[in-house]
Chains A and B, each alone.
Chain A
Amino acid sequence: MKTSVFAAGLLAVTAMALPAQADKLDDIIASGTLRCAVVLDFPPMGSRDASNNPIGFDVDYCNDLAAALGVTAEIVETTFPERIPALMSGRVDVAVASTSDTLERAKTVGFSIPYYAFENAVVAREGVEMATWEDMKGKVVGATAGTYEAIWLEGKVKEWGEGEFRPYQTQADVFLALSQGQLDATVATVEVSEASGNFPGIKIVDKAPMVPDYVALITLREEYGLINYMNLFINQQVRTGRYAELYKKWVGEGEPANLTIQGVYR
């Protein structure tokens, strides 16, 4: 009896799996909504306003993409560790979530060209003796689980062979732990560190010696139609000056990061 139910279940599954093969770009346009995963504890890229509505660079970017597609945007909040699972599980169509384009991730998801590039900074608690990034050696450090910074920092701690690395679930927990003194230092993007000034007792010490952290939009690996569309969309954002405009709105004065790399094709 059990096996027959199972077999029936499998049949139903296969039957349901077949029509899902349509191109995601078509699906989005047909459904009229673009569901974006955005991380909302990551100001100025994503946060919430006083009425707890999502705001930020990534939120605007998602809205722009939806507008270009002629659909409405739906912001789905995820944490950093959950954003790719949310994408893989079809709960969102794309992630506009400051996702670093690592080769390990590209085995699983499909990246667009970079839409932003972060510099990372070492942030320390006031009262901790620290002049350069190398002073993190032997200290208790932490970062948001699963991020580019976390992977780099954990690698460093292993390389130094002393000190301790702690991966917290959210950026807010990292800064909270830092301001409470549970951590001595963290590595976070310059933009986020500067925007998180409301945590008492923490200061930016030094730039982290990492290559610029290029972040890209992501969707499912096989959705070439959508990836192609996103690439063109990012190009247009820069070309039309919208990229600079969003930079001024959320990050501040100055030149937005260059998204091209000298001497290599994408």
Chain B
Amino acid sequence: MFDTALTTNDLIFLAQGAGMTLVVTAISVFFGTILGIIFGVIRYQVGPWWAAPLTFVLDVFRSIPLLIQLVLANAFVTTVLGWRISGFTVACGVLSLYTAAYCAEIVRGGIEAVPATLRRAARSLGMTWGQDMTYVVLPLATRVALPSWIGLALGVMKDSALVYIVQVVELLKSTQILITRLQEPLFLLMICGLFYFLISFPIARLGGYLEKRWSND
């Protein structure tokens, strides 16, 4: 099994794919989180009635396969609107919104976990809404939300395997390219799977650890 035609060149090629996976993930998680926080706060702040349109849109992103979201967004932006943008941009855009849809839920859950009495106490001490959010809600909500957020970020990394559909060559796609040439499917797929595992596993463990540590008080 270890008698392979894999060369250093090929490993570099795989590493480039892995780099693309990480770049797409980093960009999407970054923008997705910012948007998610904004959407989450809005949803909590304006109440279920006024937030209904936003809730609906976010729910759509969680109810349709990512693959279809990518195909549709790509077809819409480039074919229907006729914009000349790269597959990379489409991939990051869709993944950011996808991340935001889940992140908004996490953020809302985090805010709701802060006892209302505590917030009323903060406001009656003369804190403004902004101060209340920054000094009371943020630290407490983060504790609740961070483990789920880590899970989300890892989920996005794994889901980024689907961006091959808009011609972005990430890890899984570069593995397939090598399989085509070298005809060693199992060996190469093992390497690819191992890479995902080596990144995801320690971070997932960290998330589990934080969850355990922070839920004790």
B81 at the interface (CB under 8 A from A): yes
A77 touches B83 (CB 8 A): no
In the complex, residue of chain B having the shortest beta-carbon distance to the beta carbon of A21: B82
Q: Would you list which residues of chain B between 1 and 24 have a CB under 8 Å from chain A?
A: 7, 9-10, 13
C-alpha gap A88/B166 in the complex (Å)? 12
Q: Are B7 and A50 neighbours in the complex by a CB distance under 8 Å?
A: yes
Number of A residues near B (Cβ < 8 Å) is 27
- Closest-CB distance, A224 to chain B (whole angstroms): 18
- B179 contacts A90, CB within 8 Å? no
A76 to B167, CA, bound (A): 8
Find chain B residues with CB under 8 A from A51 CB: 9
Please tell me which one of the listed residues B9, B53, B81 contacts residue A13 in the complex, with CB atoms under 8 A apart: B81
Nearest CB of chain B from residue A250's CB, rounded to whole Å:
16
Q: In the complex, are the beta carbons of A85 and B81 less than 8 A apart?
A: no
Decide if A40 touches B9 in the complex (CB within 8 Å).
no
Question: Contact at A172–B179, with CB atoms within 8 Å?
Answer: yes
A242 contacts B by Cβ under 8 Å: no
Instruction: Please tell me if B127 contacts chain A, counting CB pairs below 8 Å.
Output: no
Give CA–CA (A129, B10) in the complex, Å: 38
Determine the interface band of chain B, counting residues with CB < 8 A from chain A.
Answer: 20 to 34
CB distance from A171 to the nearest CB of B (A): 8
Q: Could you tell me the distance in whole angstroms from the C-beta of A258 to the nearest C-beta in chain B?
A: 31
Residues of chain A from 144 to 192 with CB closer than 8 A to chain B in the complex:
170, 172, 176
Does A198 belong to the interface (CB within 8 Å)? Answer: yes
A51: nearest chain-B partner, CB-CB: B9
Minimum distance in angstroms from B71 CB to a CB of chain A: 8
**Which of B83, B169, B178 contacts A16 (CB under 8 A)?**
B83
Given contacts A78-B167, A82-B167, contact A17 B7 (CB under 8 A): no
Cα distance A89–B84 when bound, in Å? 8
In the assembled complex, the CB of A92 is this many whole angstroms from the nearest CB of chain B, namely 9
- Given A13-B81, A48-B181, A172 and B176 contact (CB-CB distance below 8 Å): yes
Also in contact, A52 and B9, with CB within 8 A (given A78-B167, A82-B165): yes
